[in-house]
Homo-oligomer: A and B are copies of this chain.
Amino acid sequence: MPDKPIISILGGTGAQGSALALRWVNAGYPVVIGSRNGRKAGQACEHISGQIKSASISHDDNVGAAAKGQIVVLCVPYASQRSTVESVRAALGGKILVDATVPLVPPKVARVQLPEGGSAVAAIQAMLGDSVKVVSAFQNVAAHVLGDLSSAVDCDVLVCGNDVAARETVIKLAADIGVRAIHAGPISNSAAAEALTSILISINSRYKVSGAGMRITGLDLTRK
């Protein structure tokens, strides 16, 4: 894989997807915004091109984007997670699928409501089988923090996945946009990161802040 693989972001017009797109484009990655809505996808591209000179950014529908991406990132709402993955499944073989899905169940998004089996992302890995390396990441970082290039991201990303090398790839993708990411075990452990998002929403509400995040302590990553 090249040093800067093409990253396709399905649901790339949403808050989280477009913020990640902006950060990766800014870091020099070629990015394809995937969306069912060509007009909104075009606007997302213009928004990014307007902020970053020599941006390598384009858009396509989700199927086209999944085909073009060397790494595919899923940023759709929970209700669309499974159907979106099923629609692009043929394009995912051999690739890393970074799944940022949080199983929020509106309207009670501040309440942990994990799906049967615990993790929404683990269910996608089970569905896809071993030919796709599913990595869970970016559940806990506030979109508005990611979307502001002048903001430092004071939140760690928990990276879960059954393939250690795929996790390493995602940890580098995070590091390149200024985000510390941490090995957090197999894909089933994603349940913790998914559940934690509702806790952070609850904390935002209770303490009247907007960007509560999470840091792992007791870790000296220079020793790794």
Interface residues of A (CB under 8 A from B): 110-114, 118-119, 142, 154-155, 158, 182-186, 188-193, 195-196, 198-200, 202-203, 206-221, 223-224
Contact = CB atoms under 8 A, between A and B. Distances in A.
A209 B219 contact: yes
Given A189-B111, A195-B191, A195-B195, A217 B183 contact: no
A154 B189 contact: no
B214 A214 contact: yes
Copies assembled: 2
B212 A184 contact: no
A154 B217 contact: yes
A5 to B, nearest CB: 25
A220 B110 CA distance: 19
Contacts of A200: 216
Nearest to A204: B218
B219 A188 contact: no
A64 B207 CA distance: 39
A217 B141 CA distance: 11
A51 to B, nearest CB: 24
Given A113-B188, A209-B219, A210-B218, 4 more contacts: A112-B192, A158-B199, A208-B224, A213-B218
B217 A215 contact: yes
- When A and B form their complex, which 8 residue pairs have the shortest distance between CB atoms, in order from nearest? A192-B195, A185-B202, A213-B217, A211-B218, A212-B218, A154-B217, A112-B189, A215-B215
23 contacts: A111-B188, A111-B189, A114-B114, A114-B191, A118-B118, A142-B218, A155-B218, A183-B207, A185-B202, A189-B195, A189-B198, A189-B199, A191-B191, A192-B198, A195-B195, A200-B216, A203-B216, A207-B224, A210-B218, A212-B216, A214-B214, A214-B216, A215-B215
A221 B207 CA distance: 7
